[in-house]
A and B are shown apart, each in its own frame.
With several copies, the nearest count.
Chain A
């Protein structure tokens, strides 16, 4: 088992004929993913990397039984692409596209939620279960099958950390890059229960960033309904307090959002906290060994 995707997952790539879509379709196929279809309006009938292209997601679903989408279409059209995926009955959509207005994402999230569909992202590296499937853009080279789950708000930092786990001789069960945008479809709070329920995950590495209260919210889940060991890292401890949203943003967060607040919450919830990314593999190995002894 793995989280959200597995070897049976049938992927449709929306925006497959674009540069990113094509490059990552190839990478996903090399990873072993079953990319069964792509879509680009007006380009139905072509193939990309041997994958048939359709004009619409509905056609792709009808013809290939695709059940998961990876979206690469440009930001102005991303909302439409997601709604199309949801309306075609897909239950999981990984939105790689960056720079989607958060007002669009509000519609996307609440619409998908109401229809029972899950979004990963936007502006995210996606999800990978080594040896099974990848729906997204995390480099293939960092993975190795194993029993460590990874949930991260970052992109390349995730690659760095996942790679570190591999180089330490460990492997990953499933890795999800949630994306760092203001509104994301799946948060730590949403993702943690999936890993709690996954029998193939022994431990979770949680990679956070300063800003927002996602890590504090995650700590609450860890404290109340998570039984597996967690190793956490939060990037940005050296950054001066951010002011992106000005006064109103400050009162929404009310003292949360700093690295200190996040680390404290995660520690209090029982997570092992790494001060720097390169400390993570050791902490993981130690926590796994301890779990093994119990």
Chain B
């Protein structure tokens, strides 16, 4: 999932003909001054920190400026701020428009219907979860038909738009749908979509691009969220790496098995720390890589729960024993392993003879891991 900052979202919006406020993105206070002086950003203007987190307005990351000096000062003050853990590197300056009403508009996927769904509400400018259900139009759109004229009319009606504003909405909808389909978006959201005079204008832009479509969109590869070095390594190896606040490391294969493992771990008083999900695979190389990666995270104990499909358990066990030898002494941790599937008895025997606690049942394995993390011998 590639979440784009507002200014990047608006670059895409512009390419698709979305009506937008005039503005400029800047990376220094001096650039802000120039942007206003050159007329690229009319005054008065809004100065917005370009961070992914929400709640910028309340958090002081959005300011207003009536003069070039104020704009420069506001940009300078915001740049370099840390907002909810994100450093502000870009600031977006935009003309401040006389807003008559604020609307909500988005398109996302409705998994149950297996259709894209457009959502529209006349109650925009607030978090949409807080809007009453009855105030939100949900319109499934068939990909083979696209966003039809009659659907557009329904949306305009739900938003209370007629005449020029409805025609202006039509441009917005064409852009919204085009971006969703052609940019492989998971979400395109405009909140607020502002009614300004006889037109509607996208004041904010939230665009999330689907990771799986990155082979079609190399242009988004450089704009991924910041990741820690460990997360980056995990990503390259296609291992899901998630940091929680506990002290037990979990390595499992497959999202369902990983979640079930965490569920049982918590049930028996364990606190999961890092967990690594290898995906559906039991590739012994990947097991080894995950093991080495885990050692970098310095867990109090590690529980490894692999259900073998293709590979035989003895092969996985041998790889694991080899990997253990590669871990430097200061990074070693107590390990409880559970390897199920083909040839599981041999696998268990190999691990046990290498001194690893290797159990058969999920419950007893988890209990052993919890005990190990608490300082007991696993």
A–B contact, 8 Å CB criterion (strictly below): yes
Q: Which A residues are within 8 Å of any B CB, using their own CB?
A: 23-24, 27, 41, 55-57, 75-77, 80-81, 83-84, 87, 98-104, 106-107, 109-111, 114, 123, 125, 137-139, 141-142, 152-160, 163, 180, 182-183, 187, 207, 209-210, 212-214, 217, 233, 235-239, 244-252, 254, 275-278
Surface stretch bound by A, among B12-20, B91-99, B148-156, B288-296: B148-156
Render B99-110 as a binary contact track against A, CB cut-off 8 A, 1 for contact. Answer: 000000010111
Q: Which B residues are within 8 Å of any A CB, using their own CB?
A: 1, 54, 106, 108-112, 114-117, 119, 127-129, 131, 133, 136, 138, 142-145, 148-150, 153-154, 157, 181, 184, 186-187, 189, 191, 206, 208, 210-213, 215-216, 252-257, 259-260, 262-267, 272, 279-280, 282, 307-310, 340-342, 361-363
Listed residue (A27, A87, A187) with the most chain B CB atoms within 10 angstroms of its CB: A87
Q: When chains A and B are docked, how far (Å) is the Cα of A294 from the Cα of B111?
A: 38
Q: When chains A and B are docked, how far (Å) is the Cα of A212 from the Cα of B111?
A: 7
Q: Which residue of the partner chain, among A75, A159, A251, A278, contacts B309 with CB atoms under 8 Å?
A: A159
A154 touches B212 (CB 8 A): no
A101 touches B208 (CB 8 A): no
- Closest Cβ–Cβ distance, residue A12 to chain B (whole Å): 13
Among residues of B, the one whose C-beta sits closest to the C-beta of A180 is B255
> Top 9 A-B pairs ranked by shortest CB distance?
A154-B256, A157-B256, A156-B254, A101-B213, A80-B149, A235-B259, A84-B150, A155-B280, A236-B259
What residues of A have a CB within 8 angstroms of the CB of B143 in the complex?
A: 103, 106-107, 110
Q: When chains A and B are docked, how far (Å) is the Cα of A210 from the Cα of B210?
A: 20
What residues of A have a CB within 8 angstroms of the CB of B280 in the complex?
A: 98, 123, 125, 137, 155-156
A238 touches B255 (CB 8 A): no
Q: When chains A and B are docked, how far (Å) is the Cα of A38 from the Cα of B202?
A: 36
B109 touches A102 (CB 8 A): yes
Q: Which residue of the partner chain, among A109, A235, A244, contacts B256 with CB atoms under 8 Å?
A: A235
B262 touches A182 (CB 8 A): no
Q: When chains A and B are docked, how far (Å) is the Cα of A182 from the Cα of B144?
A: 19
Among residues of A, the one whose C-beta sits closest to the C-beta of B308 is A139
B267 touches A101 (CB 8 A): no
A55 touches B153 (CB 8 A): yes
What residues of B have a CB within 8 angstroms of the CB of A101 in the complex?
A: 184, 210, 212-213, 216
Among residues of B, the one whose C-beta sits closest to the C-beta of A77 is B149
Known: A101-B213, A236-B263, A277-B362. A251 touches B128 (CB 8 A): yes
What residues of B have a CB within 8 angstroms of the CB of A239 in the complex?
A: 259, 262
Q: When chains A and B are docked, how far (Å) is the Cα of A245 from the Cα of B186?
A: 8
Q: When chains A and B are docked, how far (Å) is the Cα of A207 from the Cα of B263?
A: 14
A110 touches B142 (CB 8 A): yes
What residues of A have a CB within 8 angstroms of the CB of B144 in the complex?
A: 107, 110-111, 114
B150 touches A102 (CB 8 A): no
Q: When chains A and B are docked, how far (Å) is the Cα of A87 from the Cα of B145?
A: 10
- Closest Cβ–Cβ distance, residue B14 to chain A (whole Å): 22
Known: A154-B254, A213-B112. A100 touches B212 (CB 8 A): yes
A106 touches B189 (CB 8 A): no
What residues of B have a CB within 8 angstroms of the CB of A249 in the complex?
A: 108, 187
What residues of A have a CB within 8 angstroms of the CB of B114 in the complex?
A: 106, 109-110, 183
